[in-house]
Chain A
């Protein structure tokens, strides 16, 4: 299957700082990318959907000014957690789909964010 790579795999940051997470589609053009958040022992919660070259569409309850998403190219999307707080500590996962009808989404390996 297609490969989606996230970087970094884990990050620890101080409260109040910003953290950027990258999501890359390595062998296909990702027309749409999705960002999820997963708290311990819970399922994945969709945060936002982004189409290349367009503004992201955020799910209800997700602060767009806090979770900045950029999808500037067909192979890269970034999620920036601004002014991080301990409650933002979570497992962040991206997924991507390429051109073509009814294709499956491929997921990155996830990024473990710990805010101290």
Chain B
């Protein structure tokens, strides 16, 4: 079972920031928070991941609370092409030769960016 909770859907106006929340209250100390998105009829696309510090890349920012029980993915200037299902996933540190890397997808949040 997925260990995260996300709202089923959100709307955002084009050009505005989209803030997608995720609760992971049972996260362990060795688990990372990963975000992926899936545009309709395509494979998931990696966005960003973090352990405990906030992270930023060219796509988004990831804000993780100090207690690590929740996080927020921020798309600073949403465009129509950002309309997708966004998945928040926690997974343990990967060990070479181990089998614990697998990503378990929940239902995610359908973000609709409106013109």
Segment from B11-19, B21-29, B76-84, B101-109 that makes contact with A: B101-109
User: Which one of B36, B44, B94, B99 has the greatest number of beta carbons of chain A within 10 Å?
Assistant: B44
Interface hits, A70-103 → B, CB 8 Å:
91, 93, 95, 97, 101-103
User: Number of residues in B with C-beta < 8 Å to the partner?
Assistant: 25
A60 at the interface (CB under 8 A from B): no
Q: Which residues of B are found within 8 Å of A4, using beta-carbon distances?
A: 43
Tell me if A34 and B103 are in contact (CB < 8 A): yes
Interface hits, A35-54 → B, CB 8 Å:
36, 43-46, 49, 51
A1 at the interface (CB under 8 A from B): yes
- Chain B interface SS verdict (over half): loop
B68 at the interface (CB under 8 A from A): no
Residues of A at the B interface (CB closer than 8 Å) are 1, 4, 6, 32, 34, 36, 43-46, 49, 51, 57, 91, 93, 95, 97, 101-110, 112
Please name 26 pairs of A and B residues whose Cβ atoms are closer than 8 Å in the assembled complex, sorted by A: A1-B46, A6-B43, A32-B101, A44-B44, A45-B105, A46-B103, A46-B104, A49-B102, A51-B97, A57-B99, A91-B41, A95-B43, A95-B44, A95-B103, A97-B94, A101-B94, A102-B32, A102-B93, A103-B94, A104-B34, A105-B46, A105-B103, A107-B44, A109-B43, A110-B41, A110-B42
